[in-house]
Chains A and B, each alone.
Chain A
Amino acid sequence: GDSVTQMEGPVTLSEEAFLTINCTYTATGYPSLFWYVQYPGEGLQLLLKATKADDKGSNKGFEATYRKETTSFHLEKGSVQVSDSAVYFCALSDPTGGFKTIFGAGTRLFVKA
């Protein structure tokens, strides 16, 4: 079945450092891919998405490119801020499966001032 694997955390960075969180997926169809973020004390919210191969999703300085050849959707940000400290979840949604959405285990990011 479909699955999502993302790098384990926690990831600790200094402010203005470059961030990469790796995510790979397995899917039988052509899923949409997502990054969701969970800030402390808040609910899950969509950060960015990509619906087809080579699409790049972007939001709040974060980017991720849908790479079908490597089945990856790595999250990147050029310069992190303390306010980016959160848990990041990679997810896929399979339209052929009624948009069943599968999440990775999450990666906690700590950004130090």
Chain B
Amino acid sequence: DAKTTQPPSMDCAEGRAANLPCNHSTISGNEYVYWYRQIHSQGPQYIIHGLKNNETNEMASLIITEDRKSSTLILPHATLRDTAVYYCIVRFSITGTASKLTFGTGTRLQVTL
């Protein structure tokens, strides 16, 4: 799986958009970008994933650059409950095939009042 690089920490004011970047310059054509987050002392929570098109769900938006070498996770209106470590993971994925997730160090997002 391609390696990812994320800033170690970020701050965001409550109610503002949180934009979390991720570099994955060695990504291959059939690798997906996944985002998970881990709130303190809990298991990771799936947020979103994409291949090359931008994706949006009820939690977040994922913007992938055209060359696919980087992406940004956007939490449109951050709340205190979004304070967590956010992991960007790149992995090969085919429906029907389980593949392990390799976690990097992630970005610790602190949402403040």
Q: Do A and B bind each other?
A: no
B-side residues, CB < 8 A to A, are none
